Amino acid sequence: MTTSPRRYHITTFGCQMNKADSERMAGILENMGFEWSEDPNDASLILYNTCTIRDNAEQKVYSYLGRQAKRKQEQPDLTLIVAGCVAQQEGEQLLRRVPELDLVMGPQHANRLEDLLQQVFDGNQVVATEEVHIMEDITKPRRDSKVTAWVNVIYGCNERCTYCVVPNVRGVEQSRTPEAIRAEMEELGRQGYKEVTLLGQNIDAYGRDLPGATAEGRHQHTLTDLLYYVHDVPGIERLRFATSHPRYFTERLIRACAELPKVCELFHIPFQSGDNDILKAMSRGYTQEKYRRIIDTIRRYMPDAAISADAIVGFPGETEEQFQNTLRLVEDIRFDLLNTAAYSPRPGTPAALWENQLSEEVKSDRLQRLNHLVNVKAAQASQRYFGRIEEVLVEDQNPKDPTQVMGRTRGNRLTFFTGDINELKGKIVPVKITQVRPFSLTGEALSVACC
Ligand code: SAH
Ligand code: SF4
Ligand code: F3S
């Protein structure tokens, strides 16, 4: 094996879980003496952390991989790794498809990267996709931001939504202990981080698998308990969490958010469809009425809370009337942000085998109509910020205008204002909003309020 220069590159696809896993794997590589290379072509180790939520996400991975596999034919000491959800889904088959690969590793193995690489450097081609207990990682992640950080609280998902590959590729739920989570946050606080987002695919399931259920069967470690347990970590000024599942969302959690000043008034609760029969076919376990009740309760406690969600159009068998029910929900609720997608059949999921699939034309027509409505509604929702004073946590310079900095409001709106990044990075600044766009804001700083 050539040891010099030992430079690595990671390209990350997919959701925040993958981003958090990549940061941990980057930390492991740096601990082993590798240095970051922005350009994959300068790196001697390339890791693709992949996503398979929809077919286009998976295809993107193959096109990136094809290019580097070709490079490896001329440069045999290049180490090529596929991690993440495509790795888990395809396993050994990936080696058949891309024989140049050195390592195929599922998401549960992210913390084992050093061990697995040792096996590669000993001359093996390695596939690590078996279900394992996720080990606590002792290496420090190499985090992209110095201001905001992700902290995993639960891995995996025990739901069985009929369209979704996540349970197949991320395995069963595994919660971290409240102590481990708090310890990681305390370290972040010491390092100067100001905001933490607690992560889980179904974060409301947090703690179900930890020992300590009460006699009535209620577990003692719920997400709500966790928020109370970690909300006062020194230095951390803001707390967020994602993703919530309407089936398990509780009023107790809403109350905690209203009560705890550091928990931001932002809720990401995917509804997927506004039609009860489609929700049933998806095995989501709630009705659109229940979803509306949740949002009403949130707004009763926090009238101005930001609400975001995910939705799928063109699920098998979805009629025009059923799609209209999704439009109606979007019309009524006034989401701040909605991630929309056309249904994509995924290997190993029940809905992919059904015969009532819709045509690509119908799916893309519905997606366009939904996106149009989302933009109109987001522009309206944004108006409420005009003239207001919002607290903005400054993260970076505006890449398009170096005289401006950018950060996020408590409701997670990207906001720009004139200022010097060297002075303001990591500070919470009151900003008077002078311009609103559907998904971002511009304003003027009033004064620096705090730390
Ligand atoms: N755990 C979260 C979402 C995880 S996946 C939840 O339960 O809501 C992120 C989003 O991808 C989902 O909310 C869904 O809207 C979308 N998605 C998942 N599978 C999909 C599929 N097969 N086709 C299209 N979109 C899909
Ligand atoms: Fe997928 Fe459903 Fe689990 Fe979300 S809750 S990750 S949509 S199976
Ligand atoms: Fe994609 Fe895996 Fe996340 S499939 S959305 S990277 S859990």
- Asked if 344 and 323 sit in the same domain, the reply is yes
Report helix, strand or coil for 445: strand
Cβ pair 11, 64 in contact under 8 A? yes
- Asked if 218 and 115 sit in the same domain, the reply is no
- Asked if 100 and 203 sit in the same domain, the reply is no
Predicted confidence at residue 3, as pLDDT, reads 45
Distance 356 CA to ligand 2 centre (A): 22
Q: At what angle do helices 288-301 and 320-333 cross, to 10 degrees?
A: 0
- Asked if 83 and 231 sit in the same domain, the reply is no
Ligand nearest to the CA of 157: 2
CATH code for the domain of 231? 3.80.30.20
Give the Cα separation of 106 and 316 in Å (integer).
Answer: 29
Give the Cα separation of 245 and 89 in Å (integer).
Answer: 24
- Asked if 209 and 109 sit in the same domain, the reply is no
Q: Is 5 exposed, middle or buried (0-12, 13-18, 19+ CB in 10 A)?
A: exposed
Domain that residue 40 falls in? 7-128
- Asked if 402 and 355 sit in the same domain, the reply is no
- Asked if 414 and 374 sit in the same domain, the reply is no
| Closest listed residue to residue 108, CA positions, set 196, 43, 173, 41 | 173
Ligand nearest to the CA of 167: 2
Q: Write the CB contacts of 411 (distance below 8 Å, at least 6 apart in sequence).
A: 264, 265, 266, 304, 305, 306, 336, 390
Q: Which residue reads 């398990």 in tokens?
A: 248
Q: Is residue 140 part of a domain?
A: no
As a residue count, the chain comes to: 451
For the annotated binding site, the residues are: 15, 51, 85, 157, 161, 164
Q: Is residue 33 part of a domain?
A: yes
Q: Which residue reads 């890791």 in tokens?
A: 47
The residue contributing the CA closest to ligand 3 atom 3 is 15
Q: Is residue 143 part of a domain?
A: no
Ligand 2 binding pocket includes 167 (Cβ within 6 Å): yes
- Asked if 233 and 373 sit in the same domain, the reply is yes
Q: Write the CB contacts of 245 (distance below 8 Å, at least 6 apart in sequence).
A: 159, 202, 203, 204, 205, 269, 270
- Asked if 261 and 347 sit in the same domain, the reply is yes
- Asked if 356 and 299 sit in the same domain, the reply is yes
Predicted confidence at residue 56, as pLDDT, reads 94
Which residues contact ligand 1 via a Cβ below 6 A? 53-54, 163-164, 166, 201-202, 243, 245, 270, 272, 310, 312, 341, 343-344, 346
pLDDT means over runs of 10, the chain (451 residues) = 74 96 96 95 96 95 92 93 97 94 96 96 96 81 94 96 97 95 96 97 94 66 95 98 96 97 97 98 98 98 97 98 98 95 97 98 98 95 95 97 97 97 97 96 80 48
For ligand 3, pick from 12, 16, 18 the residue to mutate: most ligand atoms within 8 Å of CB. Answer: 18
Predicted confidence at residue 217, as pLDDT, reads 58
Q: Is residue 134 part of a domain?
A: no
Predicted confidence at residue 132, as pLDDT, reads 87
Predicted confidence at residue 212, as pLDDT, reads 75
Domain count, the chain: 3
CATH code for the domain of 409? 2.40.50.140
The residue contributing the CA closest to ligand 3 atom 1 is 51
- Asked if 252 and 400 sit in the same domain, the reply is no
Predicted confidence at residue 216, as pLDDT, reads 62
The last residue of a domain, from among 334, 364, 382:
382
Ligand nearest to the CA of 342: 1
Q: Is residue 451 part of a domain?
A: no
Cβ pair 316, 322 in contact under 8 A? no
- Asked if 48 and 184 sit in the same domain, the reply is no
Distance 164 CA to ligand 1 centre (A): 6
Q: Is residue 416 part of a domain?
A: yes
Give the Cα separation of 20 and 417 in Å (integer).
Answer: 28
